[in-house]
Amino acid sequence: MRRPVLNRRHRLALVALAASVALAGCAGVPVSAADVGAHAAARAAVADVSRGLYRGSTDVIDDYARWADTDTKESSMVELIGFEAYPGAVHGEPFGALQFRATVPRGSIGDPYEACFESEFDYWGVATDKFGDWNKDTSVARDIECPPDAARIPPPVDTRPVYVVPGGAEALVVEVLTNAKSTASADDIVAEVVERMPQPTGQREVAFEPRATVVGGDIGFAMGDVDDCLLVKRGADGVQVLYVPRVLLQPGELGCSPDTALLPLEQLQSPH
């Protein structure tokens, strides 16, 4: 389910209106006096799920929908029933929302109590209107009316490529650099590696783009990123696979690049 998009000003107005209505949630959801406790328990269950969803920085609500599906897959209390992206969202502001249905016991008798809530997310996780309200359930999980067809939804399919250094790539690069002619250019080396690159085997996996540089007869080769970096150098001492501390591969540091491979070994040691 994808709900109609409301801009930020309209959402804040709805929250302010809801705060003035006794025993009611935003979007005009009435709560009887007998169900106040069950409603609070339902909200708390959703708020706890939303707070625990953060897996790493992202600006894509689909990521949170997938994480929510994983975290609630075995739950009979909280279900993901919808998600919504905010087109044109600015980095740092909420970029989307998840909608949940919570089902909790209604005392010792009667049918279980059901209520629906929405949580917004930004780059740092679940978002609230006021700083410091992260522990406030009413700020994390806001009331919405349960749709008549509310049901657990499947998570959105992730079609993004997963870039990897394929198994066997290191041995291939060592072989190519060892046998490269002294007149070989960086383009020659990259072309041979690409032509012979082992195929990744994982779902959606794609090989990182190989890069090379030739300086004064030395060859520097790089493939990957800060989390999976293959660096190889051919110099006067032969071909070496370089193992560089992750801190030096971060953006703003040396990075995973062929120029890094050509640096003196003392510059590739951990600074700590």
Q: How big is the CA angle at 219 (ends 227 and 186), to the nearest 5 degrees?
A: 90
249 found inside a domain: yes
Is the pTM higher than 0.85? no
Beta-bridge partner residues of 240: 233
Number of domains in the chain: 2
Domain that holds residue 255: 162-267
Mean pLDDT along residues 210-227 = 96
Q: How big is the CA angle at 170 (ends 221 and 220), to the nearest 5 degrees?
A: 10
113 found inside a domain: yes
114: left (phi over 0), alpha (psi -120 to 50) or beta: beta
| pLDDT tens for each residue of 130-151 | 888 999 999 999 999 999 999 9
117 found inside a domain: yes
**In which residue are the tokens 């070994």 written?**
265
Please tell me whether residues 140 and 27 are part of one structural domain.
Answer: yes
Please tell me whether residues 172 and 255 are part of one structural domain.
Answer: yes
| pLDDT tens for each residue of 168-210 | 999 999 999 999 999 999 999 999 999 999 999 888 899 999 9
Please tell me whether residues 194 and 254 are part of one structural domain.
Answer: yes
Please tell me whether residues 128 and 205 are part of one structural domain.
Answer: no
Please tell me whether residues 59 and 171 are part of one structural domain.
Answer: no
Please tell me whether residues 115 and 218 are part of one structural domain.
Answer: no
